[in-house]
Structure 1
Amino acid sequence: MDTSASDPTFRDATDADVDALVALIESAYRGDASRAGWTTEADILQGQRTDVEGVLAVIKSPDSRLLTVESDGRVIACCQLEHRGDHAYFGMFAVSPALQGTGLGKLILAEAERRARENWGVREMRMTVISVREDLIAWYERRGYRRTGRMAPFPYGDERFGIPQRDDLEFELLVKELG
């Protein structure tokens, strides 16, 4: 598999992208395919990460964008940006497992922050990360995000978000001032 992304392009997702985006998100987080990258959640969650309805809801929401990244005509990454009043929310971030560790994630995060600042005038980006994902949280901290200690419960019993493999999952709010 190609492990480089030549000249990635950014655009808002459309309905026609849904199947490719669901496949990308699932490949980055769930199952054996996700183990090729470092962002896998396969050891803490099984089942699905998202579905067609979840991706369509982001695309259709007037306050949300699903930023899609393409290279050589294929979808290689995506992230959700949602305008929430005085801040933006960053979520549904997925990079093709074969391209993780190449610097593409840093590029996408910087572009998402730039778009949130320029398009909505927000000065803060927020996200939630499963608190046991120390390596992922450290990656965000190196990019200026700070842990808040503010936790939200994991939706145990709702298999739309996966099947937990442990009983201590919760989401921590991370925040970055965009300046």
Structure 2
Amino acid sequence: MASETPELTFRPAGPADVPALVALVESAYRGDASRVGWTTEADLLDGQRTDAEAVAEQIARADTVVLLAEAAGELLACCLLEHRGDSAYFGMFSVRPDRQGGGLGRAVLEQAERTAAERWGAAEVEMTVIGQREDLIAWYVRRGYRRTGLRSPFPYGEERFGVPRRPDLYFEKLVKAVSA
């Protein structure tokens, strides 16, 4: 007997969502729980991915929206969009580890691109991905993002971004043209 999946809905996060958001982001990227999914950074970084203060600050910013994806009132995924002139920065992308690999992430990414184009008239969406995450970069490339070749250093010594498990981490910038 096939089960129906509740319809996915999207909404902007508010202050009351902060605890659930922090738990979702941490579960998707850090510790053993994150290893259920394929987006884990547990082999690259220890420590936290984010905290309540940082998430609350992002939600409160006028040029930012934290987009939640829910089904039947249950938080399944999130992402951050930040208006940056003609572009929007995409980050804090998290999908519950037990829901990864089934198209949910693709749906959230597509909604984020539409939101950036419609809300701010963004011509492109940009992001940075840890360069050592070739599997994740390849996933974005399959969705139309292009590697720019631009790299930025990982913020070593700033534990609020995690505790690196190797000395060669960096971020790579990816971009995609979008339209409303």
Could you say which residue in structure 1 is the equivalent of 2:152?
152
The alignment partner of 2:19 has SS state of helix
Deviation of the 1:18 alpha carbon: 0.3
Letter matched to residue 133 of structure 1: R
The within-5 A match list for 1:38-77 is 38-77=38-77
Letter paired with 2:13 = A
One-letter amino acid of the structure 1 residue matched with residue 82 of structure 2: E
CA RMSD of aligned residues (A): 1.0
Gap change, CA 1:20 and 1:56, over 3 Å in 2: same
- Runs of 4+ that moved beyond 4 A: none
CA distance 1:5–1:54, shift in 2 (3 Å): farther
**Structure 1 regions of 5+ residues with no counterpart?**
none
1:5 Cα offset (Å):
5.0
1:22 deviation in Å?
0.1
Using the TM superposition, give the Cα deviation of residue 73 of structure 1 relative to its aligned residue in structure 2, in angstroms: 1.6
* Aligned position for 2:131: 131
Q: Provide the rounded CA distance (Å) in 1 between the counterparts of 2:161 and 2:22.
A: 13
Contact 1:87 1:123 in 2 (8 A): yes
Which SS does the other structure have where 2:36 is aligned?
coil
Q: TM-score, normalised by structure 2?
A: 0.96
Aligned residue pairs, count: 176
Q: CA deviation at 1:6?
A: 2.0
Please state whether the residue corresponding to 1:34 is helix, strand or coil: helix
Identity %: 63
Gaps of 5+ in 2: none
> Please, which moves more after superposition, 67-76 or 150-159?
67-76
Counterpart code for 1:117? A
Shift of residue 104 of structure 1? 0.4
